[in-house]
A = this chain, B = another copy of it.
């Protein structure tokens, strides 16, 4: 990978998501050589993928080039590549762009969509774990409406105008709300010849409520708002099969839907080379220092790692906050390790959770109090703009949101690269 030799120990970070990026940033200026490897040349802000998918934001507004982040840090090297194998004994990484030895490796490969073995879903449903996938959803949604205009067959029309979102976590709720707003504010004007009553937005979850990680009251608020916005909520329901036109449910119900968005689950993205013995429940088992117990020079942080303790018997939630906090702490622990000091155990500080359902509507839960409605929505906006990297992205997102809000606009309904089913 053409990384120059250094007097400092080499830390290779695999993956530039919330965890890996935070670690790399926190190691800037320290006496280590950092190599950050990611398959993309940018960090993408996942919490806003749903806005890219629903024509509210441009992809460039929520993505930021790694090289710009580290342009002033001569000891941080970025390489764009896909990891193929990590040899924890030989301390060597193999990627599609070459090999690299390391003194320490930090696995921060995050999570990918979990279809739970359903092959038809994997082939035909739309995941949303990358910027490209979010753009695919935007394209397919618009392509289906264009096709619906061309048919007089009511079954085809039902299918082309049907959208099923599987999974009622924050992603599913936010998507359902944003699509319902498109249906209400934008699509009737865009497609006056389509009867928008035919367009059904189904949100399916196997639990008795959406946002199951939230308090029951927050779930109730979200469900009430979604119902008001015309979303068809189907709880205690599972999907069993999909043929590209009709989705089958466990209850026996079949729903016509040419687009199924899969937001039902994630699984850790485990690089080849991590031995089975180092795994627990599909994630990499780490000690309180995010260290692999049998490989002291290897660490795992974020979604890919599972750190079990009394408070979190099944590990921390696979969301941004633990990832960021683990990245930050690990930077200190690595320096401690190099200086012969003792490392500090990770203690998760739950800063709360939030989800927006739509215009002026959100739920926010802090450890000590809860919010909903307009104030919660303002806080949601503020926190998300604040977390974006870079002045330009913050500015453009604020301007875009102001325009979207004041003018009820979603001007990015563009099919720039048509979605082509790969099957």
Contacts and interface: CB of A to CB of B under 8 A. Distances in A.
Interface of A: 1-2, 4, 40-42, 58-61, 63-65, 67-68, 71-72, 74, 77, 79-80, 97-98, 131-132, 135, 142, 146, 149-152, 189-193, 390-393, 395-396, 399-400, 403, 407, 409, 411-417
B150 A65 contact: no
A126 to B, nearest CB: 16
A4 B192 CA distance: 12
B399 A395 contact: yes
Given A63-B414, A149-B2, A417-B417, A71 B189 contact: yes
A1 B41 CA distance: 42
Contacts of A151: 2
Contacts of A98: 150
Contacts of A417: 132, 417
Contacts of A132: 416-417
B412 A60 contact: yes
Contact of A411 (B392, B412, B416): B392
Contacts of A393: 411
A60 B414 contact: yes
Contact of A413 (B4, B58, B65, B193): B65
A334 to B, nearest CB: 23
A80 B415 contact: yes
B191 A67 contact: yes
A61 B80 CA distance: 27
Contact of A415 (B40, B74, B413): B40
Main secondary structure of the interface of A (DSSP, over half): mixed
Contacts of A58: 58-61
A156 to B, nearest CB: 12
Nearest to A61: B58
A80 B74 CA distance: 49
Contacts of A396: 396, 399-400
Given A2-B152, A63-B416, A97-B150, A403 B392 contact: yes
B41 A142 contact: yes
Nearest to A412: B60
Nearest to A77: B193
A146 B392 contact: no
8 contacts: A67-B189, A67-B191, A68-B411, A77-B193, A391-B403, A392-B403, A392-B411, A395-B403
A31 to B, nearest CB: 19
Contacts of A59: 58, 414, 416
Contacts of A71: 189-190, 192
B416 A146 contact: no
Determine which residue in A68, A131, A407, A409 has the highest number of CB atoms from chain B within 10 A of its CB, and name it: A68
Contacts of A395: 399, 403
B414 A146 contact: no
